[in-house]
Structure 1
């Protein structure tokens, strides 16, 4: 059920229009030792291509669950709770020359392995040209001149977010960018950057994942060299105040510090190498035993004759 916008959110909405000036930013550094170890273990056990970006996306979904006041849709002076916690991942295709995006619905209810699997499958569909929605959107992007395209993007946001309509025939899906967005520059070796919010995103936060690097960190009174993951965020002040942003950041840190505590137990999809070797040795021993037994039986038959 929607409620009328009140207090600071009403004031912020009256003070600013679409995101051109209501943006504010923040950053955190994560000790990534446990995070990287967990990602390695999950990849080894499941075969899923789980990356740091996938884990940060899962952490963002966790944080939106912890701060439900951020997981809202603002339209016509009212705030509407979103139906689910959805996270939009900006991904590169065509060898990095093009950008597209995949929305993971109910990301808080999916494991990081399920998120990685969905992104891999959806990116492949985009690459193969079998994603019909992407095809329609790309055709529109190609045909429209810049001035018309700007108006079309605004109209699309108004229809799919403000009016909450789902228009797949036009390549316009309801709340296309979900409740938060994730992108990464870590793959290019960039540690620290900020990404702007476009007026048609209609999301409270865009999170950017930097490159992990070895940094001196104070641990229990000692300076140790540890892998550090920098994360930055751009917030829309019409959705988020300072207290909510800080609560969101703490929840992201909470998940990334101990991801295994928030993930279901992974089911092994890749056979353990030690088990494979042991099984092969057992099979070889069994074969040798059968060969020996057959030879002994043949000798007994010969002697009896």
Structure 2
């Protein structure tokens, strides 16, 4: 599937990264978990803050059909997770995330993750991947593009066949820092037809300037890959700045339920 996913370089991707101070975010997560009995993580917060930010940028939340932009009705965010102890990966989608609370996100996240790793979703995923194991990359590539055309381009939804009209939604999030990677950009497979990817890298202690003084704080590098056809760089930079502000100041944007 890896070989079948790419053609010669002509992609309109742009790449960059932002560093976020995570001290307040980690404290918020600890306070939230103690108060609610839930267990949210940085991945949960990044997904939620991405959805809340993109709700203000409707030109980043749709798809491109025949060279025209078609907006989605809701802001849907997907998460890429490991399967089979890191031997495979897949996505699950949280729809309309900007209108859901952190508690709702936590519960739906856990349910879909369990389904994808051990439930019906896992069975469907394995059936599809087993098919591709027997196909040469040239044929597999055609089938992948056909998948993207039928499910995302045409909006045909048949989950039991592996066809999902919003496979990755408006944005896909991948936490790759658990493997110790400090900086890594993710490519955008053409057949997924998604606006972009956020890759969460390893968090580490770094010196930062705070009110003119040098202090040490936890810093997370978020690497992004965007499809430039969806909008110009100035709006993308502004949206990224808003998300960074939400992540660094969670108490200003959320309450502990």
> Which TM-score applies when normalising by structure 2?
0.90
Residue in structure 1 matching 2:86, options 69, 75, 96: 96
Contact 2:150 2:156 survives alignment (8 Å): yes
- Mapping 1:70-109, distance limit 5 Å: 70-109=60-99
Residue in structure 2 matching 1:152, options 143, 153, 160: 143
CA distance in 1, matches of 2:117, 2:176: 21
Residue 57 of structure 1 is matched in structure 2 by 47
Residue in structure 2 matching 1:233, options 221, 224, 228: 224
Residue 128 of structure 2 is matched in structure 1 by 140
Partner of 1:80, secondary structure, is strand
Residue in structure 2 matching 1:164, options 155, 158, 176: 155
What's the RMSD between the two structures over aligned residues?
1.9
Residue 301 of structure 1 is matched in structure 2 by none
CA distance in 2, matches of 1:196, 1:110: 28
Distance apart, 1:109 and its partner CA? 1.1
CA distance in 2, matches of 1:156, 1:19: 21
Residue in structure 1 matching 2:119, options 108, 129, 137: 129
Distance apart, 1:97 and its partner CA? 2.8
Higher RCO, 1 or 2 (CA under 8 Å, sep at least 6)? Answer: 2
Contact 2:152 2:164 survives alignment (8 Å): no
Contact 1:32 1:227 survives alignment (8 Å): yes
Distance apart, 1:233 and its partner CA? 0.3
CA distance in 2, matches of 1:58, 1:77: 29
Give unmatched runs, 5+ long, in structure 1.
Answer: 1-16, 267-305
CA distance in 1, matches of 2:184, 2:239: 19
Contact 1:73 1:202 survives alignment (8 Å): yes
Contact 1:22 1:237 survives alignment (8 Å): yes
Partner of 1:95, secondary structure, is coil
Contact 2:151 2:165 survives alignment (8 Å): yes
> Which TM-score applies when normalising by structure 1?
0.76
Partner of 1:175, secondary structure, is coil
Q: Does 1:66 align with 2:56?
A: yes
Write 1 or 2 for the structure with the bigger share of helix: 1
Distance apart, 1:160 and its partner CA? 1.6
CA distance in 1, matches of 2:10, 2:158: 27
Write out the 4+ residue segments of structure 1 that deviate beyond 4 Å after TM superposition. 17-20
Contact 2:79 2:172 survives alignment (8 Å): yes
Contact 1:70 1:244 survives alignment (8 Å): no
Partner of 2:81, secondary structure, is strand
- Mapping 1:251-270, distance limit 5 Å: 251-266=242-257
Contact 2:43 2:175 survives alignment (8 Å): yes
Structure 1 56/232 Cα, relative in aligned 2: closer, same or farther at 3 Å? same
> Which of these two proteins has the greater Rg computed from alpha carbons?
1
Residue in structure 1 matching 2:212, options 210, 221, 246: 221
1:41-97 alpha-carbon deviations (Å, 9 max, x no partner): 111122222111111111111121121111121101321110100001001133333
Residue 176 of structure 1 is matched in structure 2 by 167
Distance apart, 1:262 and its partner CA? 2.4
CA distance in 2, matches of 1:103, 1:138: 18
Contact 2:19 2:222 survives alignment (8 Å): yes
1:101-138 alpha-carbon deviations (Å, 9 max, x no partner): 1100011111233222222221212232333xx53343
Contact 2:91 2:167 survives alignment (8 Å): no
